[in-house]
Structure 1
């Protein structure tokens, strides 16, 4: 019988590279979540739903309180509790997840956490889990900041996937930092929030580095996709036919999803990944590539297209003619379209292409 037990696959085998954490104590973990943006809202919702029958409510904090109240209204008080301050999140929770917009906000939030921990030093293990897309050096700074407090652990755990993947809990999750903390957190997140964990070891900067590499690859792929669809339109073939070909021969989920936005001019960044986020990420990638003497011209081209597209959109905002207040990263196709003499955001206008049999 013992032999059979040893041969029984563990739950989530192949998706979580850690053994199960120790048997939980009498008191279930109190979980907190900071940052209810395009990704964070779905992640927090799924995490709360996965625990509401057996654990205290997920404590959430967001700078815009309305988003916290929206989640509370959706799931109810048995699943969600709204924190009044960041300090409350830091002192009341055993595990605190953060998913924030940029490095500056991350720095500000963790400084607030540190102030709270000075006033109320932890008496048991407390794990902070940073899930944003940061420059790797920042994660090292955060680790040093939190390590000055007793019983405090820090891991980086950036996520791969767009908001629809966050909604469906199919994200891929990278992790680096303290081994026991990663083990604890991995079983909280899979399958509740994501489908797989990639372990990058003890160095907290490694997961952030992988995240930038992945985002750089996506940015370069979107630039090539935008150029290809624009050439299809300008040549008279039509972007729809080119898109259909791409989905037939290279059906990568990212290309399919972003290509669909491009050909349908679905550039609303309030429900996708905002262009400012793409520019921030590609800036980080280019900084890292420069520091490591590893040129990435494809990412440079994507970065230029995103900045060009943002400038076009900002000019429309000034003129009051914009269709969206926030534009999605997929809108970088506007740069290729303008260079080709086409309308930046409306592929049905002004193509000037005569399609001949």
Structure 2
């Protein structure tokens, strides 16, 4: 157990709500804030063993806090709760630590880092991977951008809900690394979808196919965790296609600014747009398989 801190958490969605619970269970004094008050009330009802303070604004949440964490929706949401007229940075004290777990652009991560520096606040852009299950089980991987001293200030809090914390570089590097992750795993899901439909068309036993190939070069987390659920048309998991398209949009924009060609990523983004048009925007990213017609299944 690290020394208890006054910690404020803003954004109690699927990921944020689970992270906040781990922080509270670790013994820290917890303040919560959500732009939709009903979600904060729902979180409290789901965590009756935790005593928390409920703030009515980001600034109120930041008052007296040693550490403030955010996990909101997008660049605009983050700018509002951090840099807005009632934002975190209007009240956060010098020497405090700010950690952002939202997946946003590297540009806004760098902008917030500059503002934090002027306020003498430690700042870490810290997107996560591991999905809803990783958040619920306290087994997330965090990719951190920022100064080394900021990472070390944030580490004792992040250890409550992570299995791996990696300092990847300067401010914005955490967000850029998350983009690398999204490029890689969206590609895996695209080929896994085609492999599954091929196996079905060939009248193969899908369990036997998985047994045969999952121990070899094609093995992946997605195969181990999504092969069977994709075969059963089960897509009710944590990371929605709508969120993936947001992330891929950020990635493609950053790629253009870097002069990097991402033709496969751009194509997969359009595949996901097709599934959105089919009504699958809130389904898990493995619902990408829905765009491929099922043929010849025995």
The TM-score with structure 1 as length reference comes to: 0.76
Give the direction of change, closer, same or farther, for the CA distance of 1:188–1:290 in structure 2 (3 Å limit). Answer: same
The superposition leaves residues 108-157 of structure 1 with CA deviations (integer Å, 9 ceiling, x where unpaired) of: 22223765644x573x41211111111111111122233343x3232111
1:111 and 2:83 are equivalent in the alignment: yes
Which is higher, the Rg of structure 1 or of structure 2?
A: 1
Q: How many Å separate the matches in 2 of 1:164 and 1:292? A: 33
- Deviation of residue 74 (structure 1)? 3.5
Tell me if the contact between 2:31 and 2:61 (Cα under 8 Å) persists in the aligned partners: yes
1:183 and 2:152 are equivalent in the alignment: yes
The alignment partner of 1:39 has SS state of: helix
What is the RMSD computed on CA atoms of the aligned residues?
A: 2.5
Q: Which moved more, 1:39-48 or 1:255-264?
A: 255-264
Tell me if the contact between 1:305 and 1:336 (Cα under 8 Å) persists in the aligned partners: no
1:44 aligns with 20
1:66 and 2:38 are equivalent in the alignment: yes
2:6 aligns with 30
The superposition leaves residues 198-244 of structure 1 with CA deviations (integer Å, 9 ceiling, x where unpaired) of: 1123x211111111101110111111111111111223225454444
Give the direction of change, closer, same or farther, for the CA distance of 1:189–1:261 in structure 2 (3 Å limit). Answer: same
1:125 and 2:95 are equivalent in the alignment: yes
State which of 47, 68, 71 in structure 2 corresponds to 1:99: 71
Give the direction of change, closer, same or farther, for the CA distance of 1:79–1:308 in structure 2 (3 Å limit). Answer: same
1:275 aligns with 241
State which of 154, 163, 166 in structure 2 corresponds to 1:198: 166
Number of equivalences = 297
Structure 2 gap ranges (5+):
none
Structure 1 gap ranges (5+):
1-10, 12-22, 315-324, 343-350
1:237 and 2:213 are equivalent in the alignment: no
Which portions of structure 1, spanning 4 or more consecutive aligned residues, are displaced by more than 6 angstroms? none
Give the direction of change, closer, same or farther, for the CA distance of 1:245–1:296 in structure 2 (3 Å limit). Answer: farther
1:6 aligns with none
The TM-score with structure 2 as length reference comes to: 0.89
State which of 327, 331, 334 in structure 1 corresponds to 2:287: 331
